[in-house]
Amino acid sequence: MNSVPFHLYLNAFRPQSTFTSETHFTGGIRDSEENDNYPNEKLGSIDISTISADGYGDLTGSMHFTAPDDGNMQDHTVAEVSLPHPLAPGATVTFRLAFHDKFPLSIARNGYKRDFIMGGQWYPKPGLFWHGAWNCHQYHSTTEFFSDFGTFNVHLTLPQRYVVGASGVPTSNRVNPDGTKTLGFYGEDIGDFAFAASPHFTVTDDTYASSMGPVKVHVLALACHPAAGPRYRDIILKTLAEFDRRFGPYPYKIVTVIDPEPGSEIGGMEYPTLFTGGTSWYEPSYGTEITAEHEFGHQYWYGMVATNEFEDAWLDEGINSYTEVNVLSSILGRNTSVLNRPYANAGDYELQRLAYIWTPDFDPVTHWAFKFRNSRSYTAVTYSKTATLLATLESIIGRDTMDEAMRTYFMKYRFTHPTTEDFLRTIEQVAVQRGRTTVLPTSSPCAGLTGCVADVPPVNSSLRPYFDQAVYGTQVLDYTVDSVSASPVQWWVPEPKDKHAREQIPYLSTVYLRRKGDFVLPVTVEVVFEDGTRLREHWDGIDRWRKFSYERRSKVTSVEIDPDHSVLLDVDLFNNSYTEESNGIPARKLTNIWASAQQFIAQLASWIV
Amino acid sequence: MPQKRMLLTSGLSLTLRNWPAFVWTYVFNLGLALIFALPLHQQIASITAHSLASQRLTGAFDLSTMGEVFLKLSQGPGPAMRSSYFSTPFYFVLYFLIVPGTLFCYQTGASATLFTLLQSGFVHFWRFVRITLISLVVTAPILAGLNALRNRWSDHIDLNNVGLPAFLLNLAGLILIGLVVAFLRVYFDLVQVYTVQLGLIQFPADPGRKGRPERQIRRTFKPAWRTLRRNFFRLYLTFVFLTLLGLAAVVVTARIAMHSLAQPRVWPMFLLAQLGLSLMLLTRFWQRGAETCLALENQIHVPAVAPSATIVPQEPLVEAAPTHGEQQEAQAVPDITAAEPSTESPTPLEELPTSEI
């Protein structure tokens, strides 16, 4: 090893950086600099004044910026230190750095807003030596982070009026004579260290008795959000219980919830044992709960199962979105986990699916995060498609099998850095063990794939075609009931008008199903007849269409593909069914809303006259 | 000296007596929205009518299902959603015709038949277009300046306030802008009222004069300003009150209608929404009525020119309302000719028939 790279994330907040360029041209998931000027208050920087290593001396002169992703030498978010002589395998080295940070007015995930400060990605963080090479990507508009586990012993000196939350557990609190105080924090087996401070935090504490001992739930909510503290606390206590039961124990002694300053770009961000929520002084939906649950979930999928968020973003954000919809469904109800009102409702499952079908097929979920077409595709695919495809997978292998696979994955890979194949093979193995999938004769599941470095023995199961299409591919799943018809077998004989007489004559009912998309998935079809008979048929979905015919003394009244509503990946649920009976209410409802809105707009516009 | 009456009651009385004007406008407002929403309705029905998935919008109101319908509409080939927007410009054009017709009926007592409304609308159409353009020219820089100030105010709030206080302070800024907009609207409403009043005057032929004075809207700016200045609080408070009343009607009925969303029937929501929208429209006509009452109390002053200036309803409009009563009303409009032509002082118009105001 001849060199060591460091992330210098705060340098991203400059107009020359790749991060700013990407947000300007293709949008970002946080504040996007769309204007043609870059405000001074949004400038951030991190300067390393000296760097030395024990046994190597002063290395400051050997430090230089690199740009491994796009060659932008003005980026400055990765610096490399060349070692005068190689570091031998198994040897250790200690670096000593002096650096100075300048936090920007918040743009993404850190910085300040009014008298609030979020210290995230604030120190030179070494890259990760992984699979025989350094993995140290530049900071991009959509990507998050990837780092090794470590031990942090941090002391922060701030004005005494500030209340501080930080990664790890608090260890000391010393009041200084100059009106400041110095707080100590210590964290083990965590991949990052972040802190937040505000003079307006109010504290709401509670304790959760986990299977590994008590966990302190430490909520720092802003005084301007008086309802937020109890709301954060309640949802985190319930979420801890759900995660403990479903996936495994939360091993740390504390989880700190930070209520970020309104108007900052800091909400909804995860750090080890600490995360930021997102709420408002008026929050009639479950937005507060959804954000808190989602960010807590990262403690498992980013914090402990520390996947590479640059190259396998779906393993963190996507799996976390899937567990989010499941956990919130348990706590708040499947169809009401976003909004639960007597007059309207919304569920997280369906809203995730809606976000996916908006932009379903530009990128596969396995794309590197900064190689997506744009931030919209990144969000739709990484978060929402993953949640949707895993929910669909759940229906294929069964809820219990999926839960066990997720638990196995978490327990096996916590405190490691697994890959896509590690995850998929874990699912295959559990599904095979439970008899929910079969092993195919051909061997390598990695055929045709690059970078397949999983340490799980290959299982080429019958789930592979699903993974190839849903995970590695961009195929779109869309099945439709193409046509339904029913007529007397003796069609040349006039149909009797009497209902009872009609029930005595045989009808030939024909149902045509069609696969409109290029995603092939076996589906179940439910056919309902006038006499109440329900038949379930199965179609492998390989051909483009399939015909079902029935000769019965009853007509077909409705046909539904996926009657259990489990194949959420289908991009059009409306064409999945056909019923003879017409229902005009939905169209009238929506048209009424639309027309009333148009009337209102027209009346407002006429104020010009 | 004309007697001062309460603008709210006299305006309402005038509006109700000319109820067809409001009703026709509402019919156009609703009718155009429905007509232009028809293709959209058909397209939505083609998605939902025979699908079991739409049950989530029948006995419930699932927002994600609604979102999927509109996503499909936006991705589909049909222009249904786009075409539904055209109801607004069509209504806008009709409104240009109905407003002058309404003001004419308010001031002359002519029956507010659709024919009268539209005919008077056509007579005044280009005058009202000119007023609108002028109002936009005047309003735009004022609003731009106010908006710049509001942005600075908003930045100041953002630096120092959060939560509910920040919301209220931002709202206060918007309300201030709204009050200025209301002031400008009141003024140009008065200009419109006086423009119609000016059109009722028969100016004597004057070979030396360029153009037709009854069509010169600039002659109404000063009277409108004078009337507004002298009756500011009386008129402005009435106007603001009615604006708030209309908005409140929409908000309250929409809030109640929202509770019908999940019901497997549409008519309660439809009726409630229409009640709110019609009340909002009614308050706008009520405002016009109040402004007309004030303008009739403070009639336009016309500089007398030889040999005389006469205010009468325009001939075709009297013909357009040929009932016996209306003919009597038209004849009842007094000749306000100044006895002695004078260039020193303006000649006041006498009051229009009080039975009609």
Residue A472 binned pLDDT confidence (cut-offs 50, 70, 90) = very high
Q: How far apart are CA A375 and CA A371, in angstroms?
A: 10
pLDDT of residue A2: 92
A336 and A321 in a single domain? The answer is yes
Residue A67 is assigned to a structural domain of this protein = yes
CB distance from A346 to chain B under 8 Å? yes
pLDDT of residue A93: 93
Q: How far apart are CA B181 and CA A241, in angstroms?
A: 55
Instruction: Tokens for B105, please give them.
Output: 């009926």
Using CA of residue A359, residue A364, residue A369, residue A373, what is the dihedral sign? negative
A192 and A80 in a single domain? The answer is no
B53/A577 CB distance under 8 A: yes
Residue A589 is assigned to a structural domain of this protein = no
Phi, psi of B44 (to 5 degrees): -65, -40
Contact residues, A window 379-438, toward B, CB-based 8 Å cutoff: none
Residue A590 is assigned to a structural domain of this protein = no
Cβ contact B108:B313 at 8 Å: yes
Write the single-letter amino acid at A528.
Answer: V
A312 and A358 in a single domain? The answer is yes
CA distance readout (Å), A449 to A111, A319, A361, A372, A421: 40, 21, 19, 19, 10
A300 and A314 in a single domain? The answer is no
A341 and A409 in a single domain? The answer is yes
Q: What is the ipTM of this complex?
A: 0.89
Q: How far apart are CA B307 and CA B209, in angstroms?
A: 13
Write out the H or E segment, with its range, that includes residue A185: strand A180-190
CA distance readout (Å), A439 to A390, A392, A396, A433, B265: 20, 20, 15, 10, 52
> β-pairing, A254-258 with A274-276?
parallel
Top residue of A596, A601, A608 to mutate, by most chain B CBs within 10 Å, is: A596
Q: Using CB atoms, which residue from A579, A585, A598 is nearest to B50?
A: A579
A275 and A193 in a single domain? The answer is yes
Compute the count of residue pairs across chains A and B with CB atoms less than 8 Å apart.
197
Contact residues, A window 237-266, toward B, CB-based 8 Å cutoff: 261-263
A222 and A290 in a single domain? The answer is yes
Cβ contact A382:A317 at 8 Å: yes
Q: Using CB atoms, which residue from B51, B62, B85 is nearest to A577?
A: B51
pLDDT, one tens digit per residue, over A33-77 is 777 889 999 999 999 999 999 999 999 999 999 999 999 999 999
CB distance from A607 to chain B under 8 Å? yes
CA distance readout (Å), A432 to A149, A238, A429, A460: 33, 32, 5, 10
Cβ contact B224:B198 at 8 Å: no
Residue A488 or residue B81, greater confidence:
A488
Q: Which residue has the tokens 């007697």?
A: B3
Q: Which residues pair with A48 in a beta bridge?
A: A99
> Residue A514 is part of a domain; what is its CATH number?
2.60.40
A409 and A387 in a single domain? The answer is yes
A500 and A551 in a single domain? The answer is yes
Which residue range is the domain that position A353 belongs to? 307-474
CA B264 to chain CA mean position, Å: 36
Percentages (nearest 5) of helix, strand, coil residues in chain A:
30, 30, 40
Cβ contact A9:A77 at 8 Å: yes
A594/B62 CB distance under 8 A: no
Residue A111 is assigned to a structural domain of this protein = yes
Residue A461 is assigned to a structural domain of this protein = yes
Which range among A293-302, A498-507, B44-53, B258-267 shows the weakest confidence by mean pLDDT?
A498-507
A281 and A409 in a single domain? The answer is no
Domains identified in chain A, total number = 4
A339/B266 CB distance under 8 A: no
For B166-186, what is the mean pLDDT? 96
Asked if the model's pLDDT at residue B172 lies above 80, the reply is yes
Cβ contacts of A572 on chain B, cutoff 8 Å: 72
How close B306 comes to chain A (CA, Å)?
Answer: 35
CA angle (B292 as vertex; B287, B296 as ends), nearest 5: 155
Cβ contact A349:A303 at 8 Å: no
Residue B83 or residue B213, greater confidence:
B83
Environment class of residue B17 by beta-carbon count within 10 Å: exposed (0-12), middle (13-18) or buried (19+)?
Answer: middle
pLDDT, one tens digit per residue, over B113-131 is 999 999 999 999 999 999 9
Average pLDDT, chain A: 94
**Predicted TM-score of the model (pTM):** 0.89
Instruction: Tokens for A12, please give them.
Output: 């991203």
pLDDT, one tens digit per residue, over A111-153 is 999 999 999 999 999 999 999 999 999 999 988 999 999 999 9
Residue A322 is assigned to a structural domain of this protein = yes
Q: Phi/psi class of residue A179: alpha, beta or left (left: φ > 0; alpha: ψ in -120 to 50)?
A: left
B163/A262 CB distance under 8 A: yes
Q: How far apart are CA A129 and CA A159, in angstroms?
A: 38
Query: How many CB atoms are located within 10 Å of the residue A236 CB?
Result: 25
Instruction: Tokens for A473, please give them.
Output: 């591919």
Which range among A292-301, B77-86, B280-289 shows the weakest confidence by mean pLDDT?
B77-86
How close B342 comes to chain A (CA, Å)?
Answer: 36
pLDDT of residue A31: 78
Q: Domains of chain B: which residue ranges?
A: 7-356
> Residue A243 is part of a domain; what is its CATH number?
3.30.2010.30
For A453-458, what is the mean pLDDT? 52
Cβ contacts of B39 on chain A, cutoff 8 Å: none
Cβ contacts of A339 on chain B, cutoff 8 Å: 63
A188 and A76 in a single domain? The answer is no
Residue B66, classed as helix, strand or coil, is: helix
A162 and A129 in a single domain? The answer is no
Instruction: Tokens for A554, please give them.
Output: 């009853």
